[in-house]
């Protein structure tokens, strides 16, 4: 059906606005191909699905969240190199007829994800 995401600043309990996210497809050899780049809005979400129903295909994908840049932009004092900087989440779409929601909850020290609805 489609692919969506949102990002939560878990350190402060707020939506993460302005996070750059890349979507890549992964071929059988493990090679990545950039499909799209988006940026989260003031609600920590993207304005449109990252993949629409027409674009969704069975396969392996990777969302790459530039979370270190987000925390630096908020004035957070991060070590160099940052402990958590770029977060790649690799996942599979087995049924393109269903909706996939892949959120990220992040702080400068940890992150988690899940398959949402």
User: Can you give the pLDDT at residue 29?
Assistant: 97
Sign of CA dihedral 92, 56, 117, 18: positive
pLDDT in tens, 10-47: 999 999 999 999 999 999 999 999 999 999 999 999 99
- pLDDT, mean over the chain: 96
pLDDT in tens, 70-84: 999 999 999 999 999
Q: Find the domain containing 88 and state its range.
A: 2-113
User: Can you give the pLDDT at residue 61?
Assistant: 97
User: Can you give the pLDDT at residue 117?
Assistant: 86
Question: What's this model's pTM, rounded to 2 decimal places?
Answer: 0.95
Structurally, the chain folds into a number of domains equal to 1
- Residue listed under structure tokens 């499909």: 35
User: Can you give the pLDDT at residue 39?
Assistant: 98
- Residue listed under structure tokens 């987000």: 70
What's the number of CA atoms in the CB half-sphere (13 Å) around residue 107?
A: 6
- The CATH number covering residue 104 comes to 2.60.40.180
């Amino acid at each position: 059906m489609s692919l969506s995401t949102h990002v939560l600043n878990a350190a402060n309990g707020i939506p993460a606005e302005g996070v750059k996210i890349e979507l890549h497809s992964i071929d059988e050899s493990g090679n990545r191909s950039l499909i799209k780049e988006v940026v989260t809005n003031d609600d920590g979400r993207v304005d449109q699905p990252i993949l629409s129903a027409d674009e969704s295909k069975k396969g392996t994908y990777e969302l790459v969240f530039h979370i270190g840049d987000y925390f630096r932009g908020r004035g957070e004092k991060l070590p160099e190199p940052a402990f958590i900087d770029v977060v790649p989440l690799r996942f599979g779409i087995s049924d393109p007829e269903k909706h996939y929601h892949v959120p990220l909850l992040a702080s400068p020290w940890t992150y988690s994800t899940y398959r949402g609805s």
